[in-house]
Amino acid sequence: MPDLLAARSQMGVSLAFHIVFAVIGIAMPVMMVIAERRWQVTGHAIYLDLAKRWAKGTAILFAVGAVSGTVLSFELGLLWPEFMRLAGPVIGMPFSLEGFAFFTEAIFLGVYLYGWGRISSRAHLWAGVAVAVSGAASGIFVVIANAWMNAPAGFALVNGQAVDVDPLAAMGNAAALPQTIHMTLAAYAATGFAVAGIHAFFLLRDPANAFHRRALEIALIVGAPAAVLQPVSGDFAARHVAVHQPLKLAAAEALFHTQSGAPLTLGGWPDLTARQTHFALELPYGLSLLAFHDPDAEVRGLDSAPQDEWPNVPAVHLSFQLMVALGTYLAVVALWVAWLAWRGKDLAHHRWLMRAIALATPFGFVAIEAGWMVTELGRQPWVIYRVLKTSDAVTPMPGLVVPFIAFTLLYCFLGVIVAWLLYRQIVRSPSVAEWRGFYMPEGEVR
Q: Would you say 65 or 327 has its CB closer to other proteins?
A: 65
Q: Would you say 54 or 62 has its CB closer to other proteins?
A: 62
Coil, strand or helix at 265: strand
Distance CA(374)–CA(182), nearest Å, equals 13
Q: Would you say 51 or 370 has its CB closer to other proteins?
A: 51
Distance CA(136)–CA(98), nearest Å, equals 10
Q: Would you say 359 or 421 has its CB closer to other proteins?
A: 421
Count Cβ neighbours within 10 Å for each residue of 27-63 and write b for 16 or more, e otherwise. Answer: bbbbbbbbbbebbbebebbbbbbbbbbbbbbbbbbbe
Distance CA(176)–CA(178), nearest Å, equals 6
Q: Would you say 86 or 297 has its CB closer to other proteins?
A: 86
Q: How far apart are the first and last CA of the chain?
A: 64
Least distance CB 423 / other proteins (angstroms): 12
Least distance CB 286 / other proteins (angstroms): 43
Q: Amino acid letter at 229?
A: L
Q: Would you say 142 or 374 has its CB closer to other proteins?
A: 142
Radius of gyration for the alpha carbons in the chain, expressed in angstroms and rounded: 23
Is the separation of the CB atoms in 176 and 148 below 8 Å?
A: yes
Strands of 159-310 (E only): list them. Answer: 161-163, 259-260, 264-266, 269-271, 276-278, 281-283, 298-299
Q: Would you say 165 or 359 has its CB closer to other proteins?
A: 165
Least distance CB 358 / other proteins (angstroms): 26
Would you put residue 445 in left (φ > 0), alpha (ψ -120 to 50) or beta?
beta
Least distance CB 403 / other proteins (angstroms): 5
Least distance CB 24 / other proteins (angstroms): 14
Per DSSP, the chain holds a count of helices (H) and strands (E) of 14, 10
Q: Would you say 69 or 234 has its CB closer to other proteins?
A: 69
Q: Amino acid letter at 435?
A: W
Least distance CB 342 / other proteins (angstroms): 38
Is the separation of the CB atoms in 12 and 376 below 8 Å?
A: yes
Least distance CB 37 / other proteins (angstroms): 20
Least distance CB 121 / other proteins (angstroms): 14
